[in-house]
Structure formats: structure tokens, C-alpha cells
Amino acid sequence: MQTILIAIIATPFVGAMATLFLSARWAGRIAFFPPALVLVLAIPRWPAAATGETNIVTIPWFPSAGMTANLRLDHLGAFFVLLIAGVGLGIVQYSRAYLGKKATPRFWAALLAFMGAMLGLVLSDSLLLLFVFWELTTLASFLLIGMGGQIPEARAGAIRAFIVTGAGGLSLLAGTLVLGQIAGTYDLSSMPARAERILASPTRDVALLLMLGGAFAKSAQVPFHFWLPGAMAAPAPVSAYLHSATMVKAGIFLIGRLSPIFGASPAFQPLLLTVGLTTFLVGGWDAVRAWDLKKLLAHSTVANLGVLTALYGVYPPAEVQGGIVRGELLSITNHALYKSALFLLVGWMEKVSGTRDLSILKEERWFQREPVAGVLIGIGAITMGGFPFLLGFMSKEVFLEALLHARFPGVVAAVAAAVVGGAMAVVYALKLCVSTFWGPKVPPDSRGYPRAALSRWLLVVPAVFLLPHVIGGIAPGWFIGSVLEPGTHWPAWIAVWHHIDRIFLLSVSTLALGVGGYLLWRRYAEVPSQPETQIAFDRLASTVLGASNWFSHAAQAGGHPRYLVVMLVFAAAAAAAAMRGGSPPPLPGAEAWSVDLAAASLPAAIVAAGAVLAVLMQDRVSKVVLMAAAGYGLAVFYVLFRAPDLVLTQILVETISLLLLLLVFQRLPRLGADERSRGQRAMHGLFAAALGLGVAALAWASGIHPAARPAGVEQLALSLPEAKGRNVVNVILVDFRGADTLGEITVLAIAAIGVVALRVGRARREGA
Amino acid sequence: MIGLAAALSGVLFACGLYLLLSRNLQRMAIGFLLLSNGINLFVLTSAGLPARAAPPLLVEGEGASRGPFADPLAQAFILTAIVIGLGMAAFLLALSTRHHDASGRDDVEGDDET
């Protein structure tokens, strides 16, 4: 099992690497194999996984920190694997013909890397691993949206998507860390057993909100929904794959994984239900108002994701089996397949007709020219609008049924929201199929793509995507009850007229409302501008950028003196904040003033005089010598501090510094008077004196309060028995903290290389 | 003893910082060396010094039982810091001469153009 799961994740990544080294033509051909191979590996596992078998593969990562890279294959995970690979296979086939020369090796690499990241995400049992793959999908999405990097709209859309989902990723990371701290593990499968402990923790809601923040951003829930329509600058196959079928479902997947853990938390269900239904309504309304066909699909995707989120808010936690609620897989399959098919078809129509602007298309009768595409879009629209006979109808029924059986305050409002949202879905479904194909005029030949360049075979892919809708609509009992969600009960055959109950009445009124709404739209709709949320975001972004520009200029102008002052002020503030609590009385045995005072007074006088005179003297040689005098005085101080090694090093280094300064200064011009103005000198002097005072106070405060357990006690005790060294300082340097010393040597080596490089460059130039 | 060392670390820090705030490279170099000495003394002082402490040199057979010892960890840190300070000073000086070769000046300009 371990090999299979790793192979499933690794195959697309290997493919991505390979495509980078191939020509675009061959890259496109090779890209067929990773999703096909994943399907071959994954399909045999489905029957077992669907009936509840869970496989967990333990892979240690960083055992001492409790971090694993565990993988898990269960019902939900296996479902997503098949979805990702299955839709991916179709998308690869479609892209090769549809994008033609625009599909560069880089495009194929990004697409396959996305596939691998997505597969890794849904197979991760470790939250940390999940986070890594989560971020990889964000990155791949950024690259794919920004494919048309020359177009400002594509760039802006890519950046907006990246900022929103990236911020969501940070929220997820923070939530992961908090949750991991509470639960004592990062493995999702071990968390439900510890749910009580997690729910008893005071930081439970913090963890929940942070995790859901990540999920909502990824799955475009209100108020983060605005990035998804902007991502539509990507080519149609990318939108179909990332932004309708798979990536945006990652948030839903995460919610599914969290529901066994947080299901009993009082905030969990109301939050999901509220956010989900709000998203359903907002997305639906935006889709009703949209005039760009692709934006229409994007907004309707937002609406559908809202329904999926709301599903988790409806069912009582006890009915959530393995993170799956009844009808969820049905709804995801339904949406992923019809929506990606519609994206591909709208991409096709855009090429054929030269536009995806509904205000133009609704004047033209495209059905005459494109009957096949028309029928396929019709099927997709029927299932989107939730009309009977197709899978979409079942999906809507399940949602209504769940709401009607639920017991929570405000259930009437929720049902009303579902009906209104459903009616809006009918409106935009009708907009999509009727308005695009049944206009009064015959479409012109002048616009659009040369006919010969587009093969009708392209339509096979969306047709295959739509096939399960027909099968599932005709035989829901077999398709859902046996294949998708075994063990759940469904009517065996077409279940439209089975009985007249509340659900049926609600369905009919939804349809009636929707048709009425569509007629109103035809009569009164005017071409509007873009949705306000997008404008608001762009305004917010430019405000933030402006503010940060201002801050950078304020904090980082005026050269290094200003930088130093800013940094030190913050450091001093931090130190002052730490000292604010006042000081406890000194521990007994701390030696503040001792007999050494007499011995210390002479070197102290030398150090102080050396330092002060090094500042006051004008002549640079005197300055250097006085500085060195202060350094040698310090060496005596090290004697008093019982630090023999420091004494030796200090004397050696002070001598080298003295020689170095004297040698180098010879090459530099004579030192003139201080270039600072009198006022500047006074300011700098005051600032330096104030900080010096602070340093002295801090040294004094921490020096007379020795730690209860001084840091070096353990090293003293272990030095002889463990490291066989009598000089503890040396043992620390080469043994206990050997890595520090390695770092020190590295710094020295870099400095030496820098010095050599600076000198060699000069010697060459002089030679030339 | 601690009080005296604390005061001295403050003096070294203040003098070093004052010189480092100058735009002249030679003043900055001297200031940098003074400042790093001040910080080293600061670290050593804050580690404290137990009464009648011995240097952290152990005697075979007695081990750490004979204490008290001066804190060896602070000393190890400072040893590292002294050496790194020298490396940085050397780099700073090389940079100064290169700057002088390139521009004929021994001071750095601010980026006040904004």
C-alpha cells in the first residue's frame, strides 16, 4: 500500500520534471501517462475504500518533534484521487488540441505538478504534509492563471488569487500548529479519538477559526469569494480543472477531514451553515448578473461550493461517517463533472463565435451552427439548474431533504435561502443554454476562429464528463447507492414522481421561481460593470501598498544612521518591555561588589578612558591606539571574570585589529573633522548615551540576578564524563555546541572570500 | 565587580555607537570594534559571577563538584563573538578601501533623495 500511495503522488511530479526537458509536442503526449497511470493504480482500490476500509501508511519524518508524513487512503481520499486523475486525464487530452502552440512545456509541467500536489493533499494524513501540498497547489494555480503573463488582467487575477489563497494557507498553517499543540499529534486520523480533549481546550475556537479560514479562502467562500472570478483569466482547461473540479474543492475536503474532530464544537455547524448559505446566495446573485459566460460559470462555482460547505453544517455530527455526509460525494461529482464540462464547452464556444459576451451572443442563433455543443451545454445547464432526470436534480433534492430534517433555530430561513439560491441557479442555467443558442439573428461568419483549426473531436471530452449525469439521473440507486456511496439508500430508478411531498413542492416552486426570474432577466437586464467586491479588493490592495510604501520611506530613508537608530529603538523597546515587571531581590551568593574591586579599578579606568578618548581625539592614529588600549584593558577584565581563554583570544584579536586598522587607514585619506553638524552630533551623542545607559542597566540587572539554573551548569557536569575534556569552554565549542562553531567558521570563510574578492577585483583593474 | 563591568559595557557601547552613527568609514570601523567589545562585556556581565568562582577548568577526578565555576557557556559565546567580530571588521575595512578606490571618498552617502 505504501508503494502504491507514494507512486500515485510521485507519478505526476515525475511527469512534470520530464516535460520540462521535452519539446512542447512531446510534453503534451507524455502528459497523458501520469493521470492514466494514477487511474490504473487507484481504481482497483475503490471498492474496498468505498465500503469503509481505511489504509494508513506510517512514514516518520521528524520523529523527535512528533512530525510524520503519514498517508491515508479512505473513502473520501480515494474519491478525490479518482476525481483528480479522471478529470485530469480528460483535461490533458482537451488541452493538447485546444491550446495548440500555447501549451508550452512549462504549462504541462505546472499542470502535472498541480495534479501531483492535489493528489498529495488528499492522501495526506499528516496535517503538516497536507499544508505543504496545499501551498504547492496555490503556487501551481498562480503559474497557470498567470500563463498569459503579458495580459494585465491575467497578471492581476493571478496575483489576487495568490494573495487570497496564500493568506488562507498561512491561516491554515497557524491553525495546524495550534491544533497540533492541543491534540499532541499532527495526524488527522488520530485526532477524532482525542476530540474530547481538543474540544475542552480554551484555544479550540482559535484553531477551528484558523483552519476554516484556510478552507474558506481556498474554496472561495464569502468573504474570500472574489478571487475565483479573477482566476478566469486562465485558459478554459485550467479553469475547468483547477477552478471548478479540483483545487477549489480542497477546502471542502479539509472541512470533511475536520468534521469528525470539531463536529461537536458549538461553533462548527452554525458557522458552516451561515457561511455556506451566504456564499450560495452571493455567488448565485453574481452569476445572475454576469454577462461574461466564463464569469457566470465562476460565480455559479462559488454558489455550488457554498452548498457543499452548508451540507456539513446541516447533518448532525453523529451522521458524518468518515468525514463524509450523505449526498456529499454525489454533489461533488455532480458539480465537478458538469462544471468542468461547461468550462470546456464555453471555451469551445468562445473560439467558435469569437466572444463569450452574452450581450452579443443572445442576439444570435448559434444552435444552427453548433448543434452538438448546443446539446451538450444544454445537458450541463439542465443539471446545473437542478432540472429533473439528471444528477443535479438528485443533488438538490438531497440538500433540501437535509435542511427539512434538520433541527436548528432559523431552519425556515435556511430553507428559504436554499429555494432562492436554487431559483437563481435556474435563472443562470437558462441564461447559459437558451440565451447563448436561441437568438433572433443568424450568426455572422466574420467573427471567430477559422473552422478548420478546431476539431469536433474536442467535444468528446465534455461529452464523457457529462455521461455520469445521465447514468446517475436514470439509475441513481445503482450509481450513487452502489458505486459512489455504498451503504446509503437511494431510489433505484428515476425518482421524479415517486411521491408528492414537501421536497417535491419545494423543487417545483424553485423551478417556477427560476423560470419567472429568467423571463424577468430577459426583459429588464442591462449590461452591468464588474462585481463590487472585486473593485473593493483592488482598492484595499492599493491602499495597503500605498501605506507600506509610505512606511518604507519613513523608516528607511537617510542612510545607515537612520536605519541603526530605528533598529536600536525597537530593540531597546523590546528590552524595556521585558524589564518592566521590576526586579526581584538579588539571589544570595551573587557577588555585586567584591574584593576584586581594587584589582578591577585600574583596567576599568583604562577601558573607560580609552573608549572616551577614542571618540574625542581628532588624530586617527591616536584614535586607533586608544581603541586598542580599551581592548587590552578588557582582556584584564576577562582575567577577573575567570575566563582564561577569552583573555588569550582578546589579546590576539586586539593586536590583529590594531595592525589591520593602521595598515588599511594608510590607504584612506586623512581623517577630517567630524562631518556631522553640531546638532546632529548632539542628537547622536544623546542617543548613544541613552542606549549605553540602558545596556549598563540591563547588564547590571541580569548580572546580579544569576539564573536559578545557570545555562552552563549541565555542560560543567557533563564535560569530563561525556566529552573527556577538562577545559569546559573548549568542550562547548568543539563538542556540545559544535554546530555553532561550524557556523562561526562559515561566517569567517565568507568574510575572507569577500575580502579576497574585493581585493582581487581591485588588483585586476590596476593591472589592466 | 558586576556593577563596574556593567558601567563599562555601557561606556563602550555608547562610544562605539556614537562613532558608528557617523558617515565616515574610518570612524565607523573604530566604532564597530568598540561596540563589539562592549557587547561582549555585556554578555559576560549578564551571566553573573558567583562569589569565589573558579575558571571553568576541571580537575581530573573531581569533576564539577568543586564549584562554583564561572559560567562556561557565556565564555564560549563570547569567544565565538570575538572571532566573528574580527572577521566582520576585516570585511568592513576591505569594503572601505574598495569604496575609496571606486569613488575617491571615505564616507557613505545617505539615500535622502526621496
Choose among A592, A614, A649: nearest Cβ to B3: A592
Classify the C-alpha dihedral A366-A372-A375-A381 as positive or negative: negative
Distance CA A681, CA A687 (A): 10
Per CB-CB distance under 8 Å, the chain A contacts of B14 are: 688-689, 691-693, 695
8 Å CB contact of B79 and A710: no
Instruction: Give the containing element (helix H, strand E) for A67.
Output: strand A67-68
Residues 6 or more apart whose Cβ sits within 8 Å of residue A570: none
B99 vs chain A: nearest CA distance in angstroms?
Answer: 10
- Split at pLDDT 50, 70, 90, the class of A208 is very high
**pLDDT at residue number A618:** 87
The answer, yes or no, to whether residue A488 has pLDDT greater than 70, is: yes
Which residues on chain A are in Cβ contact (under 8 Å) with B99? none
- Mark yes or no for CB contact B51/A589 under 8 Å: yes
pLDDT band, residue A535 (cuts 50/70/90): low
- CA–CA min distance B36, chain A (Å): 10
Of A691, A727, A755, the CB nearest to B17: A691
Pairwise CB contact (< 8 Å): A660 & B33? no
pLDDT single digits (tens) A325-336? 878 888 899 999
CA distance B105 to chain A (A): 8
Q: Is A695 close to B42, i.e. CB distance below 8 A?
A: yes
Q: Is B67 helix (H, G, I), strand (E, B) or coil?
A: coil
Picking from B3, B23, B37, the nearest residue to A675 by CB comes out as B23
A414 vs A270, A320, A431, A432, A573, CA distance in Å? Answer: 11, 20, 26, 27, 52
What's the distance, CA A564 to chain centroid? 34
Amino acid identity of residue A338, one-letter, is: Y
Crossing angle (nearest 10°) for helices B2-20 and A678-704: 150
- Identify which of B18, B54, B90 has the shortest CB distance to residue A684: B18
Q: Of chain B residues 15-54, which have a CB less than 8 A from chain A?
A: 15-27, 29-30, 33-34, 37-38, 40-42, 44-51, 53-54
Mean pLDDT to the nearest integer, A240-257: 92
Q: Tell me, what amino acid is at A744?
A: E
* Cα-based distances in Å from A687 to A231, A348, A561, B20: 52, 69, 11, 12
When pLDDT is averaged across residues A215-231 and rounded to a whole number, the result is 90
Nearest to A299 by CA among A434, A159, A167, A424: A424
Best of B71, B107, B112, B113 to disrupt the A interface (most A CBs within 10 Å) is B71
> Which is more confident, A427 or B66?
A427
Taking CB atoms and an 8 Å cutoff, what residues of chain A touch B24? 671, 674-675
List B residues 49-68 in contact with A (Cβ-Cβ < 8 A).
49-51, 53-60, 63-64, 67-68
What ipTM does this complex have?
Answer: 0.93
Q: What is residue A528's predicted lDDT score, i.e. its pLDDT?
A: 59
Q: How far, in Å, CA of B85 to CA of B79, rounded?
A: 10
| Other Cβ atoms within 10 Å of A28 Cβ, number | 23
Q: How far is B103 from chain A (nearest CA, A)?
A: 12
Chain B touched by A704 (CB under 8 Å): yes
Supply the pLDDT for residue B113: 39
| In the predicted structure, residue A761 carries a pLDDT above the cut 70 | no
Q: How confident is the model at residue A586 (pLDDT cuts 50, 70, 90)?
A: low
Mean of the pLDDT values across residues B88-96? 92
Q: Does A127 touch chain B (CB under 8 A)?
A: no
What would the pLDDT profile of B50-60 be if each residue is shown by its tens digit?
A: 777 888 888 87
Q: How far is CA A419 from the centre of its chain?
A: 34
pLDDT tens for A390-441 read: 888 888 888 888 888 887 788 889 999 999 999 999 999 999 988 888 888 8
**In degrees, to the nearest 5, what angle opens at C-alpha A568 toward C-alphas A567 and A570?**
70
- Tell which of A556, A601, A619, A642 to mutate to test the B interface (max B CBs under 10 Å): A642
| Inter-chain CB proximity B109 and A674 less than 8 Å | no
User: Do A631 and B33 count as a contact with CB atoms less than 8 A apart?
Assistant: yes
- Each residue of A662-697: pLDDT tens digit? 999 988 888 888 888 888 899 999 999 999 999 998
**In chain A, pLDDT over 70 holds for what percent of residues?**
92
What pLDDT score was predicted for residue B112? 47
What is the interface size between A and B, counted as CB pairs within 8 Å? Answer: 332
Output the pLDDT for position A592.
52
B1, B26, B56 ranked by CB distance to A665: nearest: B26
Cis peptide upstream of residue A586 (ω within 30 degrees of 0): no
Give residue-wise pLDDT tens across range A337-384. 999 999 999 998 888 888 888 888 888 888 888 888 899 999 999 999
Gap between the Cα atoms of A31 and A104, Å rounded: 12
pLDDT digits (tens, 9 = 90+) for A252-271: 999 999 998 998 888 899 99
Residue A628's pLDDT is: 94
CB contact under 8 A, A691 and B14: yes
Q: Please check whether residue B103 touches A, CB under 8 A.
A: no
A557 close to B (CB below 8 A): yes
Q: Which residues contact B64 (CB under 8 A, 6 or more apart)?
A: A713, A716, A717, A719, A720, B58
Please enumerate in sequence order all residues whose Cβ is within 8 A of that of A719, keeping only pairs 6 or more positions apart, or say none. Answer: A725, A726, A728, A731, B58, B64, B72
**What pLDDT, on the 0 to 100 scale, is given for residue A722?**
85
Question: Are the beta carbons of B2 and A593 separated by less than 8 Å?
Answer: yes
Look over chain A and give the mean of its residue pLDDT values, rounded to a whole number. Answer: 86
**Nearest-CA residue of chain A relative to B78?**
A646
- Cβ distance B11 to A607 less than 8 Å, yes or no, reads yes
* Res. A626: pLDDT tops 80: yes
Can you tell me whether residue A57 is helix, strand or coil?
strand
Smallest CA–CA separation between B66 and chain A, in Å?
11
Q: Which residue of chain B is at minimal alpha-carbon distance from A643?
A: B55
Q: What is the pLDDT of residue A176?
A: 94
638-677 of A, contacting B, C-beta below 8 A: 638, 640-646, 649-650, 653, 656-657, 660-661, 664-665, 667-669, 671, 674-676
Mean pLDDT of the residues in chain B: 87
* Whether residue B8 has pLDDT greater than 50: yes
Look at residue A648 in the predicted model and tell me its pLDDT: 93
Nearest residue on chain A to B93, alpha-carbon basis: A664
